[in-house]
Structure 1
Amino acid sequence: MRRIAALSLLLLPLMALAAGTGGWVRLPGGNFRSALKYEDRSLVRTAPFQLMETAVTNADFLAFVKKHPKWQRGRAAAVFAEDRYLQHWAGLVTLGAKAQPNQPVVNVSWFAADAYCKSKGARLPDWNEWEYAAAADETRTDARKDRVWRERILGWYARPSRSALPRVGLQAANAYGVRDLHGLVWEWTGDAGSLLVDVDNRKQGDADKAKFCGAGALSMNDRDNYAVLMRVAMLSSLEANDVTANLGFRCAK
């Protein structure tokens, strides 16, 4: 039985890639212990879902704004995208040297990312889906107890972000077949405004401030998982029209 289980684990990446069509990977879902502690439960039930294998690229987003001009730089309403929206592009429908086609698109607001996903018949993943997928390393669906793996992720957060972004898909796929969840860019989630964990873990979130969903995260189940805490604190600090030079997105359905 152990050999069969081990073989199944090794086959997971291939199974996931085979199941994904057009850049989508199927994830089985299930009960998952989030690093966040919710006031009404300890285990989170994640339904089966699909996730883009890689983040949305500049080329992908360029095709989107050409088809939907209201999301071009300088044309998006300020309430939906701040002044720095797509500032690294050379023009409204021109990428330029600072935005290579196969790099992940950044400087996009939550509203713009949400509109892109909806145009594909999809949506932004919620935090639990993103965390569920990102808990896997190359061979295990949940590698979070591995201190070496966690330190590898923290090493990325410690690196300066001024250098040019690599192209998407360079990293090995994780056990589900998803790439670049760590080590490339931060990523928007559909419920980013509800992630209320503070950098100071002693503080409690106010569930009444939830913007996009009703479940407010109160504290951390796993206080040693600093990478998750940093990501949640970063997302919860943003308004939906904010952009940053290292924040992109991928879609789910």
Structure 2
Amino acid sequence: MKRLAVILSGLLLALPAAAADYVALPGGSFSSVLPADGKVAPARIAPFHLRTEPVTNAEFLAFTQKHPAWRRDRVPALFADAGYLSHWAGDGSLGAAISPSQPVTRVSWFAAEAYCESEQARLPTWYEWEYAAAADNQRADARNDPAWRERVLIWYSRPSNAPLPEIGGAADVHGVRDLNGVVWEWVDDFNALLVGSDSRDQDGADKFKFCGAGALNMQEKENYATLMRVAMLSSLKASNTTTNLGFRCAKSD
């Protein structure tokens, strides 16, 4: 799949991307809902930088203007389904109904990866995203706080057809905004979060594999919002787009 992305990313012009804010996250040992060994082992996360906010409509529009291979009317079907940027008024315009400051959605994994490459970045891994999203404004890991979990879950009761909020929420302890409560987000290794048909696959080569019954082996089972993200991402193909799926970028140290 990445080879396909590289083929089309070759069409990108060597133009500097607009400046974006990235902040450093220290990494370390992290208790993921997807144990590193499929059982109980914590994940090890190297220090990295994360974009402070999701990519917006305005930013992605500027990207398509610089790299027209990613315009709605030009992107090959192999790299994006028919819903790609379908909420925009035109192939090269947002329209009055779309706020430039809303996170861009209806973008495929391929398009998100290409955008991040234009910022000399990449999509975050699942472990990086989950690690960052566990923070609140005072703690790097707030997941044991029932009030934190409740705030995160409230978002899931919002109707899917409701207008997306604009970016710019309160920063967490790392300086990152809008990881919870705005949009779902692509991760680089989304297709490693496989849904298996047999929980015995937990001991196979795919350490991230799980199923409905196998989810009982997952850690942090009380964080249902995170498990819902795993289930959603695992159901996608790289060309898929949805009304509430956006992205942000990361950089390795």
TM-score (norm 1): 0.84
CA shift at 1:117, angstroms? 0.3
User: Match of 2:111, as an amino acid?
Assistant: A
Deviation readout 1:111-156 (Å, 9 max, x if unpaired): 0000000111100000000001000011111000011110111111
Aligned equivalents of 1:229, 1:120: Cα separation in 2: 30
Instruction: Give the stretch that moved more between structures: 159-168 or 80-89.
Output: 159-168
Structure 2, gaps ≥5 residues long: 1-18
The question of whether the paired residues in 2 share the 8 Å contact of 1:196 and 1:205 is answered with no
The question of whether the paired residues in 1 share the 8 Å contact of 2:35 and 2:43 is answered with no
Equivalent position of 2:228 in the other structure: 230
CA shift at 1:37, angstroms? 2.3
User: Match of 2:72, as an amino acid?
Assistant: R
CA shift at 1:207, angstroms? 8.6
In the alignment of these two chains, the number of paired residues is: 226
- SS of the residue corresponding to residue 38 of structure 1 reads coil
CA shift at 1:197, angstroms? 4.8
Equivalent position of 2:208 in the other structure: 216
- Counterparts of residues 192-207 of structure 1 (less than 5 Å): 192-197=190-195, 203=199
- SS of the residue corresponding to residue 149 of structure 1 reads helix
- SS of the residue corresponding to residue 194 of structure 2 reads coil
Sequence identity of aligned pairs in percent?
56
1:187 aligns with 2:179: no
CA gap of 1:205–1:177, structure 2 versus 1, over 3 A, is farther
CA shift at 1:39, angstroms? 2.7
* Residue 27 (structure 1) aligned to one of 12, 18, 25: 25
The question of whether the paired residues in 2 share the 8 Å contact of 1:207 and 1:215 is answered with yes
The question of whether the paired residues in 1 share the 8 Å contact of 2:35 and 2:208 is answered with no
CA shift at 1:74, angstroms? 2.2
Equivalent position of 1:63 in the other structure: 62
- SS of the residue corresponding to residue 250 of structure 2 reads coil
Equivalent position of 1:158 in the other structure: 157
Structure 1, gaps ≥5 residues long: 1-20
Q: After TM superposition, what 4+ stretches of structure 1 lie above 2 angstroms from structure 2?
A: 37-41, 202-208, 214-219
CA shift at 1:92, angstroms? 1.3
- SS of the residue corresponding to residue 36 of structure 1 reads coil
CA shift at 1:173, angstroms? 0.6
TM-score (norm 2): 0.84
- SS of the residue corresponding to residue 41 of structure 2 reads strand
* Residue 171 (structure 2) aligned to one of 170, 173, 190: 173
CA gap of 1:106–1:22, structure 2 versus 1, over 3 A, is closer
Equivalent position of 1:129 in the other structure: 128
User: Match of 1:94, as an amino acid?
Assistant: S
CA gap of 1:58–1:136, structure 2 versus 1, over 3 A, is same
User: Match of 2:90, as an amino acid?
Assistant: G
CA shift at 1:22, angstroms? 3.8
Equivalent position of 1:36 in the other structure: 34
Aligned equivalents of 1:152, 1:33: Cα separation in 2: 20
